[in-house]
Amino acid sequence: MWRHPIKGIGAEPLTEVRLSEGGPLPLDRAWAVLTGTSTDTGEWQKCRNFVRGCFGPELMAVTATSDGDLLTLSHPKQGEITINPATDGAKLVDWITPIYPTQRPAPHTLIKAPEGGMADADFSAISILSLASLQALGETLGQDLDPRRFRGNLWFDGAAPFEEFDWIDSELKIGGVRLKVIDRITRCRATETNPVTGERDANTLKALREHWDHTDFGIRAVVLNDGDVALGDPLEVL
């Protein structure tokens, strides 16, 4: 179980979380860093307007820990920084600039996401991913793949590889929460990067195309009721 408080920057592990009807996982993509000429509209924006792991692979090596209003980020080259995202945006931009490619539009402003979060989809959802699918992809590539490459929220095991794609339009129950599966998640080059080193070392997209004829990994589901989810909760397809 993971959340990513700042879009494209930092993954934080969780053991339990309370979900709200129609909402994202709390504090997931709650902030984002604008690049180039992009400005804060107060609304959801396309991912191209922000720093992203597909553009800056070294960002994939950032880890996150939240504590109330404070967020601590760590990176193998940049060390550790603790910020309050509401007030320390410039501090964060200075911290990530040395590990963001100079040929990309420059990062400049940390903004608060709208209530629904700033994930890549224009609706609030939880991303659900399969450990069996991850293992199958890793075996195809001949290497172990860290789940953090795919920046998902909830990981499950026990189904056949890519069986989750058959759940579109179905309802799921996880812990005290029901969810409606909406669609598959099409992937970008961020998944090619090792989240320990920040270096591209696996051609995940090529492997998906050549062996499964798509570049999708994981599914998105909308939360249907308020409730709690914890590690070890069973997943049921209703």
Q: pLDDT of the chain along its 238 residues, tens only?
A: 999 999 999 999 999 999 999 999 999 999 999 999 999 999 999 999 999 999 999 999 999 999 999 999 999 999 999 999 999 999 999 999 999 999 999 999 999 999 999 999 999 999 999 999 999 999 999 999 999 999 999 999 999 999 999 999 999 999 999 999 999 999 999 999 999 999 999 999 999 999 999 999 999 999 999 999 999 999 999 9
Cα separation, 175 vs 185, in Å, equals 23
**CA torsion angle 17 19 23 25 (round to 10):** 20
Range of the domain at 219: 126-237
pTM of the predicted model as reported, rounded to 2 decimal places: 0.96
Q: Is 117 inside any structural domain?
A: no
Cβ atoms 189, 54 nearer than 8 A: yes
Per-residue pLDDT reduced to its tens digit, 102-121: 999 999 999 999 999 999 99
Q: Work out the end-to-end distance of the chain between its first and last CA atoms, rounded to an integer number of angstroms.
A: 21
Same domain assignment for residues 131 and 99: no
Same domain assignment for residues 180 and 229: yes
Total number of domains constituting the chain: 2
Residue where the block lists tokens 């509401």? 86
Helix ranges restricted to H, 165-238: 204-212
- pLDDT value at residue 57: 97
Same domain assignment for residues 212 and 139: yes
Cα separation, 191 vs 205, in Å, equals 8
